[in-house]
Structure 1
């Protein structure tokens, strides 16, 4: 091999998780991309030993919040610098956070601002989801199609939250644009009326303890909202993804829709496998660390979330990293009511180790299934595959080397996010990403950060589905 054909980096000696399963191969990297996969490759300009390591595709965290504009007077603890640093130290090489439009705002201006926030700070590559909170004619007819053409090919809508929630008519409007433009619509599916009515009843009765946060967000409301979102998408005949599924009933609605052949996708998150309503219902306010929406359900709900992951009902595993300081969560003192606690938990760095320990080392799933859930499928659904999400020739050299037997007791002091707590404090996991490679650069190795802010690049995502310019079938009957 001559000088022009040599590799910039060769990763050798590891068990490499390829799309069709693990193999003992070397990885040759050239110009930031995987150039060769072979049993034995020549020496590269740089060498990285993967002996006794499992080499997985770098994680794709398709649901995370960072440097989000102030909402209800507060900002997330992580900006793009700390948020992407925490991600890479946890074996993730691509993140897709949200550019959030609220009522009265221009979606295009929000996205432009988000580019400015991310460009100088991001350590790893990133795309943007678009949160549509105000589907005005200008947004629907001009801004949204233009932004999708520019590579923001996924749209999130909310069925609850003041300032963000859409009514059913507005949902249909957004779904119709997504169908026409080939975009994927994500849905936060909770029943807003249930939440508001129950919250009002609890407050009238002076029931303000943390446990009422869970009760005010009933699993039945998730089931109804999930069914409604699926039904509206069925009318338009366009794909949707139900975000952060927390409840068995919602998972069952998704399973039934899939059995009917509908293009419905879904994700769940660590908090629904490893936290529970019992973790929120504490005598003091420490349970506030686990407050998020939808909330973790009772422990007996967790097996149904595992079932959904393992049978393909829930095909994406994201962090929903939404980092608020614990001190902000309890700013109202020891009697802080549940309605005053910001919703969200940090988890971008612990997402992969928690699942690897419980699922792979726990004997629930194979390495190939783990790679699909945490990298390949989200990359496919959000228009980033094959550049991201799999170890294949031509893909970006985004890799995570794992010590499958390393035991780590999680503590906030060891993590790299900017928030002051982790809800997984004290949990012991087996298996940890010890080296992270992004576009051929070794950016994390055995506790040493080798990355710099600003090296991450914006990813213009492809349209994940074929645009359909014809009328929805119900209108063309």
Structure 2
């Protein structure tokens, strides 16, 4: 069925242009000058009036954790609830992390995550693989998974005894990525040094949520980022720093990029809008804001926004990993070490970044670039995803820049009992969301179906030098 979207302003990474968009079935077929469709004999089955609205490529969130075991519990959004919430916020593709078990295989992890997503995902999804056990078998499996469209592998310099990889293990994985073209994603914090600081804090009787932040200093993020870049330089592996949170870490990435190195970084909305004072809320309320890396002092935010403008930060993803406050977070009531690390956010990423537009921090074009186009290029989905152009998937968002919304756990669609943005008033809202040619959200009604989302077999990053 052909559909024509008329009257809107198409926003791309290159700018804003008034245009009509035609799609047929699952694919965009034409981007036309306003009003020319009828003149050239196009008679769509349906017309959608987007007058006064932006027409965007669907958002792509490349850092989510659906139904992920962690800290004695699991994130409370599964692929059905999480992708539905994503669609409500204008995201039409996610890339989730399949977690290898210690002693298990990478292929088992991918198969497990396919099992979680198939029949449940409401929008399209891709997968990264978390390398929790670097050995001869898993290194060989990296090559196999690249052929399956799993072209990015995450390692941790944090969480000793759970996820942490030694420098030698990281080097081995980077050498393999250098050979097969995959991207290494890095959680960059010096986990063993942090554990020593944590041990001292607990010995001194400091158990409150705010000490999660106080025991994870920015210097140990910066040190790990620098070490990861050094190893990537030696091995010539592409490196992508996940959830970068602080000015020193950003300065290290900037220097590497200025030197022409194949280094990229993302940040998250929580680091752009929230700060460490949230973890010091009265009682146990601060546990709602415990994530890793920890929220930083407010002065870091201006530099992160600057990094987004200069492209030293390339992507904004959510690290969506929600745990209910009334149950899961209470595991750390008497010891901040036991608070499950993670925040809910997949539903509000696009709207919060639009807030950055209204604040004058980024342009409309940059909004689309960091939320859709660059993620698609970075992780091998472009030009099927991340752009409104003939031949691309009809993943389209009609966005009302004047709509008002009030953020609350009472009304959001994530399967979690609190919001870190509770009570915020945001300007801008996804009015209509189209996933591969099917309208899944319209007039505040969700019509997407679990299982409709398809696996996206990804190619290599388009930013490899």
- TM-score, normalised on structure 1? 0.94
Q: How far apart are the structure 2 equivalents of 1:442 and 1:332?
A: 40
Q: How far apart are the structure 2 equivalents of 1:308 and 1:101?
A: 32
Structure 1 residue ranges (4+ consecutive) displaced by more than 4 angstroms after TM superposition = 465-468
Would you say 1:426 and 2:432 are equivalent positions?
no
> Residue 73 of structure 2: SS of its match in structure 1?
coil
- What is the match of residue 236 of structure 2? 237
Q: How far apart are the structure 2 equivalents of 1:247 and 1:466?
A: 24
How far residue 463 of structure 1 moved from its aligned partner, in angstroms, is 1.7
Would you say 1:158 and 2:132 are equivalent positions?
no
- What is the match of residue 268 of structure 2? 269
> Residue 121 of structure 1: SS of its match in structure 2?
coil
- What is the match of residue 461 of structure 2? 464
**Mapping 1:169-248, distance limit 5 Å:** 169-248=168-247
- What is the match of residue 340 of structure 1? 338
> Residue 74 of structure 2: SS of its match in structure 1?
coil
- What is the match of residue 472 of structure 1? none
Q: How far apart are the structure 2 equivalents of 1:433 and 1:328?
A: 31
Q: How far apart are the structure 1 equivalents of 2:4 and 2:463?
A: 37
> Residue 326 of structure 2: SS of its match in structure 1?
helix
CA contact (8 A) 1:102 1:164 kept: no
How far residue 19 of structure 1 moved from its aligned partner, in angstroms, is 4.1
Q: How far apart are the structure 1 equivalents of 2:285 and 2:368?
A: 33
CA contact (8 A) 1:266 1:316 kept: yes
CA contact (8 A) 1:182 1:465 kept: no
- Within the candidate set 362, 377, 388, 1:380 is matched to 377
Q: How far apart are the structure 1 equivalents of 2:459 and 2:84?
A: 26
CA contact (8 A) 1:80 1:118 kept: yes
How far residue 465 of structure 1 moved from its aligned partner, in angstroms, is 5.8
Residues 73 and 332 of structure 1, relative CA distance in 2, 3 Å threshold? closer
- Within the candidate set 8, 12, 24, 1:14 is matched to 8
Would you say 1:415 and 2:412 are equivalent positions?
yes
Q: How far apart are the structure 1 equivalents of 2:11 and 2:456?
A: 24
- Within the candidate set 10, 17, 24, 1:23 is matched to 17
Would you say 1:404 and 2:401 are equivalent positions?
yes
How far residue 446 of structure 1 moved from its aligned partner, in angstroms, is 2.2
Q: How far apart are the structure 1 equivalents of 2:403 and 2:279?
A: 30
How far residue 466 of structure 1 moved from its aligned partner, in angstroms, is 9.5
Residues 465 and 44 of structure 1, relative CA distance in 2, 3 Å threshold? closer
- What is the match of residue 353 of structure 2? 355
CA contact (8 A) 2:264 2:313 kept: yes
1:225-252 Cα deviation digits (max 9, x unpaired): 0000000000011210100000110000
1:237-276 Cα deviation digits (max 9, x unpaired): 1210100000110000000001111010000001101111
Q: How far apart are the structure 1 equivalents of 2:269 and 2:204?
A: 33
Q: How far apart are the structure 1 equivalents of 2:316 and 2:462?
A: 21
1:132-172 Cα deviation digits (max 9, x unpaired): 0101111112x111011110001111001132110000001
CA contact (8 A) 2:92 2:395 kept: yes
Unaligned runs of 5+ in 2: none
Q: How far apart are the structure 1 equivalents of 2:5 and 2:232?
A: 45
Residues 194 and 380 of structure 1, relative CA distance in 2, 3 Å threshold? same
- What is the match of residue 35 of structure 1? 29
CA contact (8 A) 1:398 1:437 kept: yes
Unaligned runs of 5+ in 1: 1-6, 469-477
Residues 330 and 365 of structure 1, relative CA distance in 2, 3 Å threshold? closer
Report which stretch shifted further, 427-436 or 261-270. Answer: 427-436
Residues 187 and 332 of structure 1, relative CA distance in 2, 3 Å threshold? closer
**Mapping 1:74-85, distance limit 5 Å:** 74-85=73-84
